[in-house]
């Protein structure tokens, strides 16, 4: 009977150790995943990391939309500036022709007066 009792104690300890080992492993997995024993999120682990990642992705999407809008505004302003520059070049060219024509007219008047 003594031998039988020893086997029962050994089997109990073996079962207890397996149960304890399983509970430890489960606790480690819960910690890695990021949940408490009652199933609520603990603010750590994979769950929290995924929530942060999703939040960052949404913020980045909004930032990209803002950047795209700014790029479109810059393109529009560059188009306006190119148009204004072209108009100024045309005006400058016209004024230079007028100045040249006026100089020629003045020279002709000067020679006629002499």
User: Residue 77: which domain range?
Assistant: 34-113
Q: Within a domain: residue 54?
A: yes
Residue 19 lies in a domain: no
In a domain, 16, yes or no: no
User: How confident is residue 9, by pLDDT bands cut at 50, 70 and 90?
Assistant: low
**Polymer length in residues for the chain:** 114
57 vs 44, which has greater pLDDT? 57
Whether the Cβ atoms of residue 41 and residue 48 lie closer than 8 Å to each other: yes
Higher pLDDT, 21 or 51: 51
Count of the separate structural domains present in the chain:
1
Residue 8 falls inside a structural domain: no
The confidence score (pLDDT) of residue 5 equals 54
Indicate the average pLDDT of the chain.
Answer: 85
Range 77-97 average pLDDT: 93
- Select the more confidently predicted residue: 15 or 30: 30
DSSP string, 19-69: HHHHHHHHHHHHHHHTB-TTS-B-S-HHHHHHHHHHHHHHHHHHHHHHHHH
């Amino acid at each position: 009977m003594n031998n039988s009792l020893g086997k029962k104690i050994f089997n109990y300890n073996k079962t207890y150790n397996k149960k304890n080992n399983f509970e430890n492993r489960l606790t480690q997995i819960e910690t890695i995943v990021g949940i408490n024993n009652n199933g609520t999120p603990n603010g750590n682990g994979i769950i929290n990391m995924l929530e942060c990642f999703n939040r960052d992705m949404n913020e980045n999407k909004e930032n990209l939309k803002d950047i795209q809008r700014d790029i479109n505004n810059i393109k529009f302003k560059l188009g306006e500036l190119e148009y204004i520059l072209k108009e100024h070049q045309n005006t400058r060219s016209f004024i230079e022709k007028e100045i040249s024509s006026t100089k020629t007219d003045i020279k002709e008047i000067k020679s006629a007066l002499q």
